[in-house]
Amino acid sequence: MELQEVEVTIQPDGTVHLAVRGVKGTQCMDLTGALEKQLGGQVIRHEKTPEYGEDPGVGEARICNFS
C-alpha cells in the first residue's frame, strides 16, 4: 500500500490549503471531509489531479482553500 498523506498549510491571512497524495479516485473526499468540517469556513476551490480518475486504492489530490 502506498503512503497516504494530507499536507495542511495555514497562510498568514488564515487561508488553509489541504493537499492529499497517495489516494486515488474519490476516496480523497472521504479522507478530508471531516477535516474540512472541523476547520469550518467555506471551501473556495477543489483541484483534482490526474490521480482522481484512477481506480480507488491508490491516489487523488486536491487543494481546498478556506477563508
Place of cell 473556495: 44
Q: What pLDDT, in 10s, does the model give residues 4-20?
A: 888 888 889 888 888 88
Is 60 buried (19+), middle (13-18) or exposed (0-12) by CB count in 10 A? buried
What pLDDT score was predicted for residue 60?
Answer: 40
Below-70 pLDDT ranges, the chain: 1, 55-67
